[in-house]
Amino acid sequence: MMMDHRQNHIDSLRAGLSLLVYPLQLAVEMPGAVSEWFRESLATRRQLQEENASLRTQMLMLKARGQKLQALETENIRLRELLDSAFMIGERVLVAELMSVDLDPYKHQVLINKGELDKIYPGQPILDADGVMGQVVHVGPYTSTAILITDTSHALPVQVNRNGIRTIALGSGTINRLELPYIPNNADIQPGDLLVTSGLGGRFPPGYPVAVVQGVQHDPGRSFAAVVATPSAKLNRSREILLVWPGDTSTLETSSTGQTEAPLPPEEQLVAPEEAAATTEENP
Amino acid sequence: MILGRRHGGGIIAVTFVIALLLTIAPLPDSVRYLRPDWVGLVLIYWCLAVPDRVGVGTGWGMGLLVDLLTGSLLGQHAMALAVVAFLTLKLHLRVRLFPVWQQALTVLVLLILHQLLSLWVSRFIGRPGPPFSYWAPSLLGMFIWPFIYIALRSLRRGFRIS
């Protein structure tokens, strides 16, 4: 047990053993999968037409946005080239599904139907359509386990999208709440602010939405404000998720400068911890 | 007796597989926290009924599978269930003679022990303490013990497992 907790020696053992329980997981998954299959194959023509139409409009809207995004992306790359820094936009992603299996109810974990054979690795970020969901912790041959950002053992470096204040979002153990305990009382943060990943840990790609600030409480007796936020990802409702390979842009365009391996420009990485320290020291 | 020794091993395995399936079967959020400890209950029954075949080793192995299935620390439930199996083996001659309600109380103690050991490990690695409802599965386990007992006993008699 200590070995599992502290080191990674028996990760391979766990991966091998997880092959043993894969049939059980599949068996539990089956009723849901079968009913889903029935629902899809027995859907009426009208339902399919309606779904098709709504998807079409949605795609049109997304396409229109995409056009704009492309223009912005090229402009962004051009400007960054002017600043002489390498920056990558777009990462390799893989769509996976959650298996309908219950894990330990006191941990926020999910089981994903992709594993080592799909080149999933521990620590890989997972997203859904609306934001960051969590990261992979154990990888088996066909399945992998991920913890959600609201698990009490999870912390995520974020920044406020509006003004770039960096902080850390901790899981609260409640599925719709994140805590931001390290924000100084005088920091400029208000309800409604969008928090995005800052990419400072090197694990999550920068710029993905994480949560929306819900409430800020200033207690003069304490040095930090009590800030809570609501995750933007549908943590307990999404079934389709995205697995991201940060920094791997093999399928997408990259900027032409040579430093493509670094997920962040090096100078930004160097400056950041000091700045973060400075912000925490500012408090009265 | 010696000829019948290996008889019915498959049935015991099937009951354990069903218990494992019930452990991870998806439930609505409101009753998720009440899921009784199926593997523990089935293990206790077989330890009482056929103590020379199901014991600490089986408990440990089943616990390991539970760890893999629920994504907990590898060995957390294995240790707890091995201890539960050991105590059941120690007590089996006495508990067998108890009326069912008294057995249920013993089972409650054993199930709470399982949860306690498991909680001890998770507190040790720094997870926060669970709410009071954490103990509900043990209580529920006590109430469904008579049914488990009767069902598995008829199964055992039907297949003449000894």
| d(C-alpha B88, C-alpha B107), whole Å | 9
| d(C-alpha A208, C-alpha B162), whole Å | 60
Q: Which residues of B touch A153 (CB under 8 A)?
A: 126-127
Q: From A13, which residue of chain B is nearest by alpha-carbon distance?
A: B74
| B25 domain residue, yes or no | yes
What's residue A67's pLDDT?
A: 83
Residue A215 contacts residue A191 (beta carbons within 8 Å)? yes
Report which of residues A5 and B111 the model is more confident about. Answer: B111
Asked if B74's CB is within 8 angstroms of A4's CB, the reply is yes
Distance from CA of B14 to the nearest CA of A (A): 12
Distance from CA of A111 to the nearest CA of B (A): 9
Q: Which residues of B touch A1 (CB under 8 A)?
A: 73-76, 79, 121
| B3 domain residue, yes or no | no
Task: Give the start-end residues of each E strand in chain A.
Answer: 92-97, 109-112, 125-127, 132-139, 144-148, 155-160, 166-171, 178-184, 194-197, 209-217, 224-231, 240-245
Q: Please give the average per-residue pLDDT across A164-185, as a whole number.
A: 87
Kindly state the tokens that stand for A265. 């420009």
Report which of residues B121 and A269 the model is more confident about. Answer: B121
Residue B71 contacts residue B49 (beta carbons within 8 Å)? no
What is the extent of the structural domain holding B148?
A: 9-158
Report which of residues A265 and A172 the model is more confident about. Answer: A172
Report which of residues A281 and B151 the model is more confident about. Answer: B151
What's residue A283's pLDDT?
A: 40
Report which of residues A46 and A281 the model is more confident about. Answer: A46
Q: Tokens 């509006």 label which residue?
A: A162
| B15 domain residue, yes or no | yes
Contact pairs from chain A to chain B, CB under 8 Å: 77
Amino acid in the structure at residue A194: L
Give the C-alpha distances (Å, rounded to integers) separating B62 from A12, A28, A197, A270, B40: 20, 17, 40, 49, 9
What's residue B143's pLDDT?
A: 92
| B1 domain residue, yes or no | no
| d(C-alpha A35, C-alpha A51), whole Å | 19
Partners of B111 in the β-ladder = none
Domain count, chain B: 1
| d(C-alpha A123, C-alpha A165), whole Å | 25
Most distant CA pair in chain A, distance: 65
What's residue B145's pLDDT?
A: 93
Best of B62, B65, B68, B123 to mutate (most A CBs within 10 Å, chain A)? B68
Amino acid in the structure at residue A26: L
Q: Which residues of A touch B127 (CB under 8 A)?
A: 106-107, 152-153
| B147 domain residue, yes or no | yes
| d(C-alpha A139, C-alpha A253), whole Å | 29
Q: From A138, which residue of chain B is nearest by alpha-carbon distance?
A: B71
Q: How many Cβ atoms are within 10 Å of A127's Cβ, its own excluded?
A: 23
Confidence of residue A253 (pLDDT cuts 50, 70, 90): very low
Task: State whether residue A234 sits within 8 Å of chain B by CB.
Answer: no
SS3 B37: coil
pLDDT in tens, A23-54: 888 888 888 778 878 877 877 788 888 889 99
* DSSP state, residue A235: T
Partners of A240 in the β-ladder = A97
Highest mean pLDDT, choosing among A64-68, A261-265, B11-15: B11-15
Asked if A100's CB is within 8 angstroms of B70's CB, the reply is no
Share of residues in chain A with pLDDT > 70 (%):
79
Q: Do the bridges between strand A155-160 and strand A125-127 make them parallel or antiparallel, or are there none, so unpaired?
A: unpaired
Indicate whether A170 pLDDT > 70: yes
Amino acid in the structure at residue A282: E
Residue A214 contacts residue A230 (beta carbons within 8 Å)? yes
Confidence of residue A4 (pLDDT cuts 50, 70, 90): low
| d(C-alpha B62, C-alpha B39), whole Å | 7
pLDDT in tens, A73-117: 888 777 776 665 544 545 677 888 888 777 777 888 888 888 888
Task: State whether residue A195 sits within 8 Å of chain B by CB.
Answer: no
Best of B21, B24, B115 to mutate (most A CBs within 10 Å, chain A)? B24
Task: State whether residue B58 sits within 8 Å of chain A by CB.
Answer: no
pLDDT in tens, A111-132: 888 888 888 888 898 888 788 8
What's residue A18's pLDDT?
A: 81
Residue A224 contacts residue A283 (beta carbons within 8 Å)? yes
Asked if A25's CB is within 8 angstroms of B121's CB, the reply is no
SS3 A264: coil
Q: How long a stretch of residues is chain B?
A: 162
Residue A143 contacts residue A96 (beta carbons within 8 Å)? no
Sign of the CA dihedral running B6, B12, B17, B23: negative
What's residue A103's pLDDT?
A: 77
The ipTM is: 0.74
Angle, in degrees to the nearest 10, between helices B38-49 and B136-158: 40
Q: From A99, which residue of chain B is nearest by alpha-carbon distance?
A: B26
Task: State whether residue B121 sits within 8 Å of chain A by CB.
Answer: yes
- For the sheet with A125-127, list strands across it: A92-97, A240-245, A125-127, A132-139, A144-148, A109-112
Residue A31 contacts residue A25 (beta carbons within 8 Å)? no
pLDDT in tens, A134-162: 999 888 888 888 999 988 888 999 999 88
Partners of A194 in the β-ladder = A212
Give the C-alpha distances (Å, rounded to integers) separating A177 from A180, B63, B76: 10, 32, 28
Mean pLDDT of each 10-residue bin along chain B, 162 residues long: 61 90 83 87 92 90 89 86 93 90 92 91 81 88 92 89 76
Task: State whether residue B71 sits within 8 Å of chain A by CB.
Answer: yes
236-265 in A: which are within 8 Å (CB) of B? 236
Distance from CA of A6 to the nearest CA of B (A): 9
| B142 domain residue, yes or no | yes
Indicate whether A3 pLDDT > 50: yes
